[in-house]
Structure 1
Amino acid sequence: MSIKLGTRGSPLSLAQTSWVLDELKNTNPSLTFEIEKITTKGDTDTRPLFAMEQKGIFEKEIDRAVSEKQVDFAVHSMKDVPSDLDSSLTIACVPKRESVNDVLITNDGFSLDSIPSGSTVGSSSLRRAVQISRKRPDLNVKPIRGNIETRINKVTEKKIDGIVLAKAGISRLGVDTKHSLLSKDEFLPSPGQGALAIICRSDDSKTIEMLKKIEDKNSRIEVEAERSLSEHIDSGCRFPVGAYASVKSDSLILKVGVYSMDGKKSILIEENGTIDNPFELGKKIGNELKSQGVSEIASNWREKLEEWNKQ
């Protein structure tokens, strides 16, 4: 029996897909798999990520192929999957999560504390840009696009002094490069960072059963809390929110940070919940953020981004 899966053709997406296939083959040795590379809007639009409508730019075309039965399932980075997933689809599996930390990559192995004043640091993420500026306002933060290798090459070719990106990306790719780990408490990651989402049709019970064999229970719980938080405040790449959930025995801890565009205002919340109801914990913090003025921060972001997009 041959199973067809869809994914982006980027090196990272293919590496993630290869890892998933290795896991699936270990639990389903009689199956064979065929990879269908699908181009998405996020692959063809060269504008900075913050200049685009973010929902689905890296997964919409692939999920359409799943829904229309061109492929059986799809492998995504969890943070690329919008909370309002089509009702015909389901996140059938969340495999074991990679590191949620961000890293700073420089030629000299600088940490964020030691990189010289005036250095230019690139990032594709508004969240990271604000977090960098909050900690080191003396650095120049520059928007940067391209796959991970392209961004790293800009550092090695000395076109930029450093870049900040997710550690999970270089781990999945097996990239050996000098990097400094950033604290996940100071640099709260994007909701779902480090996790994979395997999508299939909601009514495809056989595929769901196959995929569930490589599910990691704790990773699923953590991601559900973070995605619930995003859903309740409608966050995304155009509205930077940091969130990290962690399972500790029977408890679930969710830390969340929201930042103004200039980095001067922030709302930081940490709450405990139970592993039995991660959605409720995300919703609870979402409501707390609303009561503490997150709507005003979000509105300021939208107004400024609309100005930039008109230029």
Structure 2
Amino acid sequence: MKQLIIGTRGSSLALNQANEVKERIISNFDIKVEIKVVKTEGDIDLKTPSRKILDKGFYTSEIEQLLNDSKIDLAVHSMKDLPLKLKSQFEISAVMKRRSPMDILITNRFSKLKDFPLNSTIGVGSLRRRLQLKLIRPDFQIVDVRGNIETRIDKMYKYNWHGLIIAKAALERLNLKEKFIDFNIKQMIPASCQGIVAVESLKNRSELKSITSKINHPQTYLNGLIEREIALILEGGCKIPVGCYADVNNDKVNLYAYIATDSGEKFIIETESGLLEDKKEIIISLIKKMNNKGLQETLNDRK
């Protein structure tokens, strides 16, 4: 194989991610790599509030179509944007080393959450973030924000918001010099696979497997598999505010999970930990704990 075509969205963040994959490939193989920019529904529809976006393929379907038609060889996505159930012909064949999985609050005014005045205005791009923020500061006035990272930050300054919540990984990747406050895992459980760049390919493209296996980061791949498995169980076939994170350290794993109804009136936060080799049993135990707190009722309220 002499040339590969990578499909990606056209934002600066998406191109940064695609270029990381490209660099990993050309540093290991004598292959020419081209990046093809693809517009997705999520790039065209900038009016629908993020909390009303029900299609998990909102940012990926058009890229997957080109992959299916062999117009591109590999698709690069933010892993959290991928449907939890891929179509049977596709697979996640590699991931890049994970950046921070956590959320941050960008602000140039304050250094601590408690310093924000009553009823501060905060830009938020997902229902999961919105509801967890309300648990910390119920008084905050939340504004829905869409668009790429730079656009969101510009809106914060333009409309004089007190702050903006984004993924820390995005700030790291784009090397943006904004001041921010970190959320810890007890304050805000991130989206499944946040901070992970995924490489998607057709299962039957066996000639690509030597490439994708070489560029894959095994530790991150394991993190992603665990989190996608938990998210698939929690979402229960419907779009609902869910967060989960698998913190793997050597031979141990700590799991964190969050689920809520759209209103946030009902929510469950749970943790479980144990040996990594027992990850299946730990996931089962986590879900059992959540069931004991009313997981099924929470899911039923959303359907």
2:183 corresponds in structure 1 to 182
Q: What's the TM-score, normalizing by structure 1? A: 0.90
| Partner Cα distance (2:222, 2:249) in 1 | 11
1:308 corresponds in structure 2 to none
Contact 1:232 1:287 in 2 (8 A): no
1:141 corresponds in structure 2 to 142
The CA deviation at 1:254 is 0.9
Structure 2: runs of 5 or more not aligned: none
| Partner Cα distance (1:260, 1:85) in 2 | 25
Contact 2:104 2:182 in 1 (8 A): yes
Q: Deviations over 1:96-119 (max 9, x none)?
A: 100011111113244322222111
| Partner Cα distance (1:259, 1:14) in 2 | 33
Contact 1:225 1:281 in 2 (8 A): no
Contact 2:109 2:162 in 1 (8 A): no
Q: Does 1:255 align with 2:265?
A: no
The CA deviation at 1:214 is 2.0
| Partner Cα distance (1:184, 1:36) in 2 | 36
Contact 2:123 2:156 in 1 (8 A): no
| Partner Cα distance (2:73, 2:220) in 1 | 23
Q: Does 1:160 align with 2:169?
A: no
Query: Cα RMSD between the aligned structures?
Result: 2.0
The CA deviation at 1:273 is 4.3
Count residues in correspondence.
301
Contact 1:104 1:111 in 2 (8 A): no
Q: Deviations over 1:7-47 (max 9, x none)?
A: 0111211111112212222222x111111111111111221
1:32 corresponds in structure 2 to 32
Contact 2:189 2:257 in 1 (8 A): yes
Aligned CA distance change for structure 1 residues 279 and 96 (closer, same or farther; 3 Å): farther
Residue identity in the other structure for 2:229 = S
| Partner Cα distance (2:251, 2:57) in 1 | 33
The CA deviation at 1:269 is 1.8
The CA deviation at 1:203 is 1.6
Residue identity in the other structure for 2:24 = E
The CA deviation at 1:235 is 5.8
Q: Report matched runs for 1:109-148 at 5 Å.
A: 109-148=110-149
Runs of 4+ in 1 over 6 A off after TM superposition: none
Contact 1:97 1:196 in 2 (8 A): yes
The CA deviation at 1:274 is 4.1
The CA deviation at 1:138 is 1.3
Q: Does 1:101 align with 2:102?
A: yes
Where 1:191 maps in the other structure, the secondary structure is coil
Contact 1:191 1:230 in 2 (8 A): yes
1:54 corresponds in structure 2 to 55
Aligned CA distance change for structure 1 residues 281 and 207 (closer, same or farther; 3 Å): farther
| Partner Cα distance (1:236, 1:97) in 2 | 27
| Partner Cα distance (2:23, 2:296) in 1 | 44
| Partner Cα distance (1:118, 1:110) in 2 | 17
Residue identity in the other structure for 2:88 = S
| Partner Cα distance (1:73, 1:282) in 2 | 31
Where 1:113 maps in the other structure, the secondary structure is helix
Q: Which moved more, 1:145-154 or 1:50-59?
A: 50-59
| Partner Cα distance (2:275, 2:162) in 1 | 43
The CA deviation at 1:54 is 2.5
Q: Which moved more, 1:288-297 or 1:38-47?
A: 288-297
Residue identity in the other structure for 2:130 = A
